[in-house]
C-alpha cells in the first residue's frame, strides 16, 4: 500500500492522481448530499452546436465533425461525470502500471510519451466500458411510452442556455431526474434555471423541443 501511494504521487503520475482525487471527492459529495449530481455537468452540447468556422484551404463544417467525434465516445448519451470517472480511473491505472514497468527512472520524457499513448488507450477503454450504458439510455430515448410521459412535462434548463442550439434540461421525478437534450423554436432562448414545458420530440435526433412555461400556458 505504501509503495502504491509513493508511485501515485511521483511527478509522472501526479496529474492523474489529482484528477482521480477530484472525481472521488465529487462522488462522495453526491453520496452524502453535499453537492448536486448536476454540478460540473459541462455544457458540451451547447459548445458542439456553437458556430465554429475554420479555414484550412476552405471552410470546414467543424460542429458536425466534433459531434461525430464526441458521439463516438458516448458524449451526450451517458452522464458526463460517469464518462469522466471511467476515463480518469483508466488513465490513473494505466499510468501507474506503465511507468512502473516501462519507465524505471520515472523520467518525464518517457512519461510524456506514455501519457499520450495512455490517453488513446483510455479513450477506447472508456468507449467499450460505457457501451452497455449508452444502449440503455438510447433505448430509453427511443421508447414511445417514455416519450409520451415526457412530452407535456415541466423541465428545468441545466445548461448555460437552450435555444435553436441544443442544450439540456432536467425533469424532476420521484426517483432519479430525467436529463433530456432540448432545443427551442421561433428564436426563443432559455437560460440555466428557467422552467420550460416539453412540447415535442424528434425521435431520429433524440431531441425534445421546449418552450417557456408562460407561452405553453397561453397555447393551451
Strand-pairing partners, residue 211, are 197
pLDDT digits (tens, 9 = 90+) for 197-210: 999 888 777 789 99
Would the pTM of this model clear 0.85, i.e. be above it? no
The owner of cell 439540456 is 168
Residue 141's nearest CA partner among 84, 196, 208 is: 208
Residues whose CB falls within 8 Å of the CB of residue 17, separated by 6 or more in sequence, listed in order: 8, 9, 92
How would residue 142 be classed by pLDDT, with cut points 50, 70 and 90?
A: low
Domain boundaries in the chain? 2-141, 144-219
Residues whose CB falls within 8 Å of the CB of residue 124, separated by 6 or more in sequence, listed in order: none
pLDDT digits (tens, 9 = 90+) for 23-77: 999 888 877 765 544 444 444 444 444 444 434 344 444 455 666 666 676 676 7
Span of 26-35, 63-72, 86-95, 138-147 with lowest mean pLDDT: 138-147
Distances (CA, A) of 50 to 40, 63, 79, 211: 20, 7, 21, 20
Residue 49, pLDDT score = 47
Whether the Cβ atoms of residue 23 and residue 126 lie closer than 8 Å to each other: no
Q: What is the topology classification, in CATH, of domain 144-219?
A: OB fold (Dihydrolipoamide Acetyltransferase, E2P) (2.40.50)
What is the average pLDDT score of the chain?
A: 78
Q: What angle do CA 42, 22, 96 make, to 5 degrees?
A: 115
Whether the Cβ atoms of residue 91 and residue 116 lie closer than 8 Å to each other: no
Amino acid at each position: 500500500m505504501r509503495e502504491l501511494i509513493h508511485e501515485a504521487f511521483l511527478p509522472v503520475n501526479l496529474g492523474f492522481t489529482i484528477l482521480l482525487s477530484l472525481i472521488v471527492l465529487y462522488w462522495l459529495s453526491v453520496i452524502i448530499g453535499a453537492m448536486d449530481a448536476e454540478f460540473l455537468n459541462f455544457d458540451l452540447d451547447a459548445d458542439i452546436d456553437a458556430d465554429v468556422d475554420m479555414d484550412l484551404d476552405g471552410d470546414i463544417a467543424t460542429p458536425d465533425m466534433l459531434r461525430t467525434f464526441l458521439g463516438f465516445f458516448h458524449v451526450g448519451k451517458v452522464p458526463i461525470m460517469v464518462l469522466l470517472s471511467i476515463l480518469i480511473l483508466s488513465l490513473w491505472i494505466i499510468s501507474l502500471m506503465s511507468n512502473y514497468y516501462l519507465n524505471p527512472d520515472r523520467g518525464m520524457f518517457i512519461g510524456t510519451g506514455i501519457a499520450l499513448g495512455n490517453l488513446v488507450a483510455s479513450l477506447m477503454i472508456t468507449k467499450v466500458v460505457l457501451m452497455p450504458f449508452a444502449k440503455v439510455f438510447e433505448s430509453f430515448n427511443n421508447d414511445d411510452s417514455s416519450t409520451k410521459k415526457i412530452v407535456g412535462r415541466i423541465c428545468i434548463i441545466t445548461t448555460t442556455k437552450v435555444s435553436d442550439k441544443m442544450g439540456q434540461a432536467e425533469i424532476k421525478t420521484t426517483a432519479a431526474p430525467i436529463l433530456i437534450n432540448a432545443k427551442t423554436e421561433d428564436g426563443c432562448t432559455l437560460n440555466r434555471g428557467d422552467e420550460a414545458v416539453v412540447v415535442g420530440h424528434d425521435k431520429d435526433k433524440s431531441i425534445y423541443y421546449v418552450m417557456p412555461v408562460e407561452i405553453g400556458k397561453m397555447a393551451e
